[in-house]
Amino acid sequence: MDITGNTVFIPGATSGIGLALALALNERGNKVIIGGRRVALLEQLAVEHPEISTVQIDTADAASIEAAAKEVLAAHPSLNVLIAMAGIMQVEDWHKPEGFLASAERVVTTNVLGPIRLVAAFVEHLQTRPDATIVTVSSGLAFTPLKVTPSYNASKAAIHMLSESLRMQLSDTTVKVLELEPPSVRTALMPGQEDNEHAMPLDEFIAEVMTLVETQPDAREIQVERVKFLRYGEARGDYDQVVAAVNGTDPHGK
């Protein structure tokens, strides 16, 4: 993916990694459109960043995705990059169904069906562009589980495998598939995470991501150094130790 000269749509970019990435891409000469559910917040961002376009979209709602896609493509026919950023993360207790079932359904709808529906809404258009990219967003937890967020872990593992499969299927087109794999980053994804000293500062994460995109334009996965501890535990042979470190347990999961 080239670092500049693109028209980029980022649903789920009204805060956190999505918004920071939108601003960084805008600074590097890309036309950026951000999407989100809350109209008031979109209006506020439009005032603060008039060079960035906004569109209302709820990535948990199939009809909303379809409507937003039509709006985006009508206004921005040069669109060549889709970044499927929206996602939710929730603590669950799987001992009883009331501790996880409703949450799991929300997580899967947003984190898995959302990106699938986004790809469905844009993939035909992207194939008409001479150089296009679909950016998926998985997580270090796709490769090393956090005990308290089973559905989130599973949803991001699904996105990783979806990315691998989609890349192969679209290899006969102009569309590339790039998987962004964040570690824990200081955002509001989970309560208290913005102040978690063990999480990566957001500005440091974005700066490293932009450097990687710029220096590795043909990369299939964007991995900051911090995520490699989670990403390659099995390959290194220290998976049990990585799981223990992430979950604060001994290597046997106790």
Query: Cα(141)–Cα(159) distance, rounded to whole angstroms?
Result: 11
In what side-by-side order are the strands of the sheet with 53-56?
53-56, 31-36, 7-11, 81-83, 132-137, 175-180, 221-222
Q: Which domains does the chain have, with CATH numbers?
A: 7-247 (3.40.50.720)
State residue 20's pLDDT score.
97
Q: Dump pLDDT digits (tens) for 72-123.
A: 999 999 999 999 998 999 999 999 999 999 999 999 999 999 999 999 999 9
pLDDT of residue 86: 81
What is the mean pLDDT of the segment spanning 149-159? 98
Q: Could you give the C-alpha distances from 117 to 2, 75, 109, in angstroms and in order? A: 25, 20, 10
CA-based torsion, 248, 160, 192, 105: positive or negative: negative
Mean pLDDT of 124-147: 98
pLDDT band at 229 (very low <50, low <70, confident <90, very high): very high
Q: In the prediction, which pLDDT does 251 show?
A: 64
The catalytic residue positions are: 152
Please state whether beta strands 31-36 and 132-137 pair in parallel, antiparallel, or not at all (unpaired).
unpaired
Mean pLDDT of 147-159: 98
Binned at pLDDT 50, 70 and 90, residue 253 comes out as very low
**Mean pLDDT score of the chain:** 96
